[in-house]
Structure 1
Amino acid sequence: MEGGRVLTVLLLVLLLVGLAGSSPPPEPVVCAHGTSDCTVSNAYGSFPDRTVCRAASATFPRTEKELVAAVAAAAAAKRKVKVATKHSHSFPKLACPGGRDGTIISTERLNRVVSVDVAKGLMTVESGMVLRDLIQAAAEAGLALPHSPYWSGLTIGGLLATGAHGSSLKGKGGAVHEYVVGMRIVTPAPRSQGFAVVRELCADHPDLDAAKVSLGVLGVVSQVTLALEPMFKRSVTFVTRDDSDMAEQAVVWGDLHEFGDMVWLPQQRNVIYRKDDRVAITSAGNGLNDYLAFRSSSTADLISGRVMQELLEKKNNTVARCKEAPTSVSLFEKAAYGFTNNGSLFMGYPVVGFQHHIQASSSCLDSPEDTLLTTCPWDPRIRGIFFYNNAYSIALSRVSAFIADMKKLRNSNPKAFCGIDAGLGILLRYIKASSAYLGKSEDSIDFDITYYRSYTKGEPNPYSGVLDELQQMALRKYGAIPHWGKNRNFAFEGVIAKYPEAGKFLEVKGRYDPDGIFSSEWSNQVLG
């Protein structure tokens, strides 16, 4: 098979096989002896620095009482603590306590709905509840979470810690933390208070703006209360145009469409515009978003596809790479990216459906064990897809100039961008300014890029220099702020200085965890 066909193979697998089964993802926390001598990883099986994260022990509390006991035991022993989630999708080492003597507290079993108040539109859940389950539970009560990330395999505690978001400038915006009106968080305490306390933060509590996006350095979130809305419907249409006016459109698109986003295909000089707005609940349609790249894939095809991709990269076969990129995009476009009008068939745009069926997907998680015949595409137990994910936000006022500079870089070396196109381009999502101390201080656009990563340490992508130049330009010239849950380590250098309210966050951190039990080498470097 020609090396350049690898991406076509991978996408055909996702599009055409229609696999119903899948092996669930591996547990991120693995212990050699019961709950001792443990390692913790992420969903991709590797942190940016490729080091193995170890811990002396792990605990899996099922109740808030057990969670308090776990924090108290660690605080009394002055052991470092980090929180791990059910699937652990963060790229940075947020869940790594450092060294070998720390403790991991997993929220995997803290996964229940605590209460629902339909009249007030409030829902309280435990922090380990997966977004997919939260969205479904809300829908069963006739309620909807207004915005969310596109991948629903995150936990509510994990996605809040990293400021995860969808795309919107309307209302409160697309970040989930904007809909948090209450939290219960367990923090270390003096001996006189039993070494751990539960802090209850209501909507008007001054510390809530620190806890809503915290990187997990304040303590362990036990419960989260969200302000929801009555169920509504959305209408989605994707339109592809040339990128000649992209710089101008990017500034206004978020004001035109409540859930709008854009995907730029730089080498093809095209933009895929997402026209996405809420419509009347009586509108006809029962559409479903089952995004293609989040479906189960054949393990055999993933492995063979990766082999071909590695050959392509090692040979630096630019001609083949650039030839196949449009084919990959075309396959997704013809399959409506996984959207259907009735849950099974796509018959044309617009796709109209209920919010909980449109806002996010993660169908590769919804299957019983099949002995690894199929998996999520990035499952680390197989040698399949392996990638970097850069994501950084730029203030809306600077976006036009940044896009103009990106185009200049593209024009100087268009072949360097074929790999980005093959990875389905650069996703642009809108983020509204937030009151959260570690949230965005200005209305912004998040630029999200996924690209090839070698399994061999130190082996660069043939065009890694261009990709690094693009990121450095964003970070240094345009003051871009890296996404807390993505990126390689160098993207976070000096980042805390970009947050006007960082001092307030650090003050809360000092009160909640004065001994730095929940801090690590990584968080200390990032927070200064």
Structure 2
Amino acid sequence: MGTMSKRKMKVATRYSHSIPKLVCPDGEDGLLIRTKYLNRTLKVDPTTMTISVESGVTLRQLIDDAAKAGLALPYAPYWWGLTVGGLLGTGAHGSSLWGKGSSVHDYVVELRIITPAGPKDNYAKLRVVDTTQPDEFNAARLSLGVLGVISQVTLRMQPLFKRSITYLVKNDSDLGEQAGEFGYQHEFADITWYPSQGKAVYRIDDRVSSNVSGNGLNDFIGFRSTLSLALAIIRSSEESQESTRNADGKCIDAKLTTSTLMTSAFGLTNNGIAFTGYPVVGYHNRLQASGTCLDSLEDGHITACPWDPRVKGQFFHQTTISIGLSKVKSFIQDVQKLLELDRKALCGLELYNGILMRYVKSSSAYLGKQEDAMDFDITYYRSSEPKSPRLYEDIIEEVEQLALFKYGGLPHWGKNRNLAFDGVINKYGGRNVKAFLKVKQMYDPQGLFSSEWTDKVLGIENESETITRVNVEGCALEGLCVCSQDLHCAPQKGYFCRPGRVYKDARVCMPLKTPDSSSSTAKSIQRHRSTHNAHHTHLIR
């Protein structure tokens, strides 16, 4: 129907969607294709060590069905509410530099994708893609959803195995040196960094023999069902801290949060009931991911996932950027220099469990990682009022721009604010981009699965029409632009566009008690407001 009527289309999943505007179809009559009922595990083959599933199967179901046959997906994201199609569309990953690395799309051996077609094919064509078609395969297994609808996926698995996990808390003074090597020392290594507290938690995580005793379970606290009333109280508290600029309050709450997580081993238990000490040993399928808040009641009135939009709970920005391993030390040291100016600056991140640092290996997928890298996952408060600046707005923006511009980081396709995607396609190499766009043109020549947003990200539109080409009040506060003038921030609230403190090429919204250009800024705002309706701008939300 969509192809016949030439309507724009996107695929949506039942639990989640991307943080950026990846799944939004253009036009008032755009179609969302849901995969809720593409939820069957079709075949599990222990002989070939493969599993075939429909694209709406969740990671939770995939892990469970594979384990019943004695198989395991070796690496995966930590949240099991993702669908297989969503995993592939956004390049989702776990943490490892071993084997083929931690990206799920690198374990695909075959996929089926339905693309638009002409009347001779009833307006839809089923394509079966595998390693014998390298160009199509390397485009389709990480496609941003712009090629069509993935209907079925076959993944290479491994025999089910056991792991041993120990969390080690250390001072972060040598984090830059340690980060570059730690991923080679332990197969499932990651690091959680609490920068304002000067702490780093190292995940010492490796395979062990199946005869090592232990039946450990991962039920991460942040992914558990939470009382809706408790979520509302926590959110109200943070809103109050933001409105009163109470940095001390945030830091106190952050220390309490991290202390609770560390004491409870982040939700690990030795036997599925209680944590009795490290190491926690258990089968891979019980440790690799979690998400029991998905079992909350449907209406969310009593309990919910912390970010469930149906209740007053978490509302956040998420900046997730991969930086080449050779540059990680310098990036970490730059962030530490920023913290030397004010130790309280990143307490707000620690309320969301700090900075999660995962290892990602380079991939042959055209839109996959271009080199071995460390992925920095940063979650932080977002106001429900888009023109309201955040506490330490400038510091977090400088960290974001350090990662993206000074160190050339690659954004996670399913996360991030708009500014992370500005010119991103130029980081993927000419051949890869041309090969991907060639397959895109072959599969969907009319661009029915594309949108204005994805066209800008992929560089299909005129280069002057970039994703951050906006000129409206407050656009930098939501990451819709990098500020170039004061009105892009919140001058009426004391936030002005200024160079970064450590990275001088950054342009951030900085709070100034005695702004040096308040009168001229006010006049600039008034001029902008009077001409705004007559001036065409591109604002992508």
Class of the TM-score when normalised by the shorter of the 2 chains: 0.7 to 0.9
How far 1:124 moved relative to its partner? 0.4
Equivalent in the alignment of 2:148: 219
Partners of 2:175 and 2:218 in 1: how far apart? 26
Q: Is this contact kept in 1: 2:166–2:279, CA < 8 A?
A: yes
1:297 aligned to 2:226? yes
Q: Which residue of 1 aligns with 2:215?
A: 286
2:342 to 413, 416, 420: 413
> Residues 168-179 of structure 1 correspond to what in structure 2 (within 5 A)?
168-179=96-107
Output one character per residue of 1:298-352: Cα deviation in whole Å (capped at 9) or x when no partner. Answer: 1111112211111111001112222232121101101110000000110000000
**Aligned: 1:470 with 2:368:** no
Q: How does 1:91-110 map to 2 (within 5 A)?
A: 91-110=19-38
Q: Quote the residue 1:353 is aligned against.
A: 282
Q: CA deviation at 1:424?
A: 1.5
> Who is 1:18 aligned against?
none
- The residue aligned with 2:302 is 373
The structure number with the bigger radius of gyration is: 2
- Cα distance in 2 for partners of 1:321, 1:101 equals 44
Q: CA deviation at 1:191?
A: 2.3
Of 429, 433, 438, the residue aligned with 1:502 is: 433
- The structure 2 residue matched to 1:391, chosen from 320, 340, 359, is 320
**Structure 1 residues 421 and 371: alpha-carbon distance in aligned structure 2, compared to 1, 3 A threshold:** closer
Q: Which residue of 2 aligns with 1:150?
A: 78
- Tell me the amino acid that sits aligned with residue 504 of structure 1: A
State the one-letter code of the partner of 2:269.
Answer: T
Counterpart of 1:509 in structure 2: which amino acid? Answer: K
Amino acid at match of 2:132: D
Of the candidates 420, 423, 428, which is equivalent to residue 357 of structure 2?
A: 428
CA distance in 2, matches of 1:483, 1:230: 29
Counterpart in the other structure of 2:4: 76
CA distance in 1, matches of 2:29, 2:302: 37
Q: Deviations over 1:102-142 (max 9, x none)?
A: 11110111000111111110110000001101100000111
Are 1:230 and 2:184 an aligned pair? Answer: no
More relative contact order, 1 or 2 (CA 8 Å, 6+ apart): 1
- Which secondary structure state, in structure 1, belongs to the residue aligned with residue 110 of structure 2? strand
Counterpart of 1:50 in structure 2 is: none
Aligned to 2:130: 202
**Matching of residue 522 in structure 1 with residue 450 in structure 2:** no
**What's the CA shift string for 1:230-289, capped at 9, x where partnerless?**
100110000000011111100000000000000111111111000001111111000000
Secondary structure of the 2:345 match is helix
Q: CA deviation at 1:190?
A: 2.3
C-alpha distance in 2 between matches for 1:342 and 1:304? 32
Structure 2: distance between partners of 1:459 and 1:255: 43
Question: Per-residue displacement from partner, 1:155-174 (whole Å, max 9, x unpaired)?
Answer: 00001100000000000101
Alignment partner, residue 450 of structure 1: 379
Please give the alpha-carbon distance, in whole angstroms, between the structure 2 residues aligned to 1:239 and 1:502.
41
Q: CA deviation at 1:368?
A: 4.1
Give TM-score scaled by structure 1 length: 0.85
CA distance in 2, matches of 1:282, 1:203: 36
Matched with 2:112 is: 184
* Deviation (angstroms), 1:367: 4.0
- Structure-2 separation of matches of 1:437 and 1:371: 40
Which secondary structure does the structure 2 equivalent of 1:416 belong to? coil
Identity between Structure 1 and Structure 2 (%):
53
Cα contact 2:162–2:210 (8 A) shared by 1: yes
How far 1:399 moved relative to its partner?
0.8
**Counterpart residue type for residue 333 of structure 1:** M
Matching residue within 412, 418, 431 for 1:489: 418
Q: What do residues 438-466 of structure 1 show as CA deviations (whole Å, max 9, x unaligned)?
A: 00010000000011111112112111111
Asked whether 1:271 is paired with 2:203, we answer: no
* Counterpart mapping for 1:326-365 below 5 A: 326-365=255-294
Cα distance in 2, alignment partners of residues 250 and 443 from structure 1: 13
One-letter code aligned to 2:13: T
Q: CA separation of 1:214/1:371 partners in 2, compared to 1, >3 Å: closer, same or farther? A: closer
| 5+ residue gaps, structure 2 | 460-541
Deviation at 1:371, TM superposition (A): 5.7
Task: Tell me the CA shift for residue 423 of structure 1.
Answer: 2.0
Local SS of the residue matching 1:264:
strand
Number of residue-to-residue matches in the alignment: 456
Residue segments in structure 1 that go unaligned for 5+ positions in a row: 1-72
- Counterpart among 92, 98, 101 of residue 164 in structure 1: 92
Distance 2:369 2:340 in 1: 31
Alignment partners' CA distance in 2, 1:461 and 1:275? 35
Q: Could you tell me how far 1:370 is from its partner in structure 2?
A: 6.5
Q: What is the alpha-carbon distance in structure 2 between the residues aligned to residue 423 and residue 526 of structure 1? A: 28
SS at match of 2:212: coil
Distance 2:221 2:251 in 1: 22
The separation in 2 between residues aligned to 1:369 and 1:484, in whole angstroms, is 28
Q: Distance in 2 between matches of 1:319 and 1:303?
A: 21
- Aligned-residue Cα RMSD (Å) equals 1.0
Which amino acid in structure 1 is aligned with residue 21 of structure 2? Answer: K
Q: CA separation in 1, counterparts of 2:43 and 2:162?
A: 24
Aligned position for 1:511:
442
**3-state DSSP of counterpart to 1:410:** helix
Whether the 8 Å CA contact 2:60–2:81 is kept in 1: the answer is: yes
